Amino acid sequence: METPGSRTIEDIKRDFPIFRNRPNLAYLDNAATSQLPSMVLEAMVDFEVNYRANVHRGLYPEAELATNAYEAARAEVATFINAEPQEISFTSGSTASLQMLAAMLSPRLQPGDNILVSSMEHHSALLPFKKIAAERASMITTIPHDADYRLDLATFKLMLSQRVKIVVITAASNVLGTVNPIADIVELAHQHGALVIVDAAQYVPHLPLSVKAWGADAVVFSAHKMYGPLGVGVLFIEQSLGEQLTPSNLGGGMMREVTSSAMSYEDAPWKFESGTPNIPGVIGLAAACRYLSSLGWSNIIVREEEMTRLLIVGLLSLGDVRIIGSLTMNDRLGVVSFTVPGLHPHDLATILGEQGVAIRAGHHCAMPLTSSISPTGVARASLGLYTTAEDIARFIQGLKAARQKLA
């Protein structure tokens, strides 16, 4: 099949060693983690075999190479999301970034203040803010969604007040595939003086991100969901907020001066990076940004929309399958959750797995949402930029077979 760009989908699939090694794998679990292209692997191996050294410390050539590559990666990631390099800190992933944000923002909360979270937050975004709300005698209130699983903006507007200090919102739901209108949410929240923290873990692999266009105060995402390595992520903090925040994690590499009675921090972003960072991971993340940019966003979007449509139409053709989330392509990604009456999602996923089709089943770390849909959770198929019509046909075929076997 031709992509709108110059490379065919077969070319793209060949970029990923796993598909050469496992040609029969229909991988539809990209919302959990995506696969790694050779160029990302090569960038990481290059560091490991040619200039492995710690950063910001050594004065010998390999250490300088490592530091330069690390800081160049910061600049590349900044460009990728339209931020400034000093606004980008590297962490171990979205979970770590969100925990740090919650810990650093906690001292700002007063008893009776309110944190708003959407109904579709991942536990990584929900739990750290639930914790600080409890510790600071603040409230945490859920912004509901409507019948089409879109955020209820009218209710959100009514919930805003001067007591709302923080809004936590996912840019794209890992269960519903819903894409939320972040720029509108930020504008409304800022009118009431609230900070907005955006979880972009599911958004970044599928759509181009401009943090400046969003206007958000903080944005997090993980490399491993965007064709980068595991164990590395990004914490974007808008510059003026970054200057104000006191780091929550202390250690080596982030202090300007320490005496027996006093200490002072480096500037952002280094003050947010305590200890030795995941240097090959950061270098790999920058390579993943280059990989995505080289394919071209319009090519990725057109292809993924086509595959999402195929997936939805295929599921609907089965008759009794319930898709959880919007059936229209507006503001939705190829993350599609569903239930089949009478069948446990784990059984479906197991039988599909036996046929070489990888999906996920369960509560997807979003239990407040998924348990309101079904006590046993939901099954989820999620696309990547390498997903083919054949992968989807095998998934639908496998689902039919699973249904017959389990009926």
Task: Pick the closer one to ligand PLP by CB: 292 or 351.
Answer: 292
Q: Is 178 in the site for ligand PLP (CB under 6 A)?
A: no
How many of the other CB atoms lie within 10 Å of CB of 68?
12
Q: Which of 222, 326, 337, 388 binds ligand PLP (CB under 6 A)?
A: 222
CA distance 170 to 214: 13
CA distance 316 to 236: 39
Q: Which of 126, 185, 201, 283 binds ligand PLP (CB under 6 A)?
A: 201
Q: Give the binding-site size for ligand PLP (rule: CB under 6 A).
A: 13
Q: Is 170 in the site for ligand PLP (CB under 6 A)?
A: yes
Task: Pick the closer one to ligand PLP by CB: 228 or 314.
Answer: 228
User: Do 367 and 389 meet the contact criterion of CB atoms below 8 Å apart?
Assistant: no
Cβ at position 282, least distance to ligand PLP in Å: 15
| Ordered alpha helix ranges (H), 7-122 | 9-14, 17-21, 38-50, 61-80, 94-105
User: Do 87 and 93 meet the contact criterion of CB atoms below 8 Å apart?
Assistant: no
Catalytic position from the list 72, 127, 153, 365: 365
Cβ at position 220, least distance to ligand PLP in Å: 7
User: Do 334 and 304 meet the contact criterion of CB atoms below 8 Å apart?
Assistant: yes
Q: Which two tokens stand for residue 238?
A: 């808008």
Instruction: To the nearest 10°, report the CA torsion of 364, 365, 367, 372.
Output: -30
Determine whether 289 is an active site residue. no
Closest CA to 357 of 1, 22, 12: 22
Q: Is 95 in the site for ligand PLP (CB under 6 A)?
A: yes
Q: Is 91 in the site for ligand PLP (CB under 6 A)?
A: no
Q: Which of 93, 284, 345, 384 binds ligand PLP (CB under 6 A)?
A: 93
Cβ at position 341, least distance to ligand PLP in Å: 26
Q: Is 74 in the site for ligand PLP (CB under 6 A)?
A: no
Q: Which residues bind ligand PLP (CB under 6 A)?
A: 93-95, 122, 124-125, 170, 174, 199, 201-202, 222, 365
Catalytic residues: 365
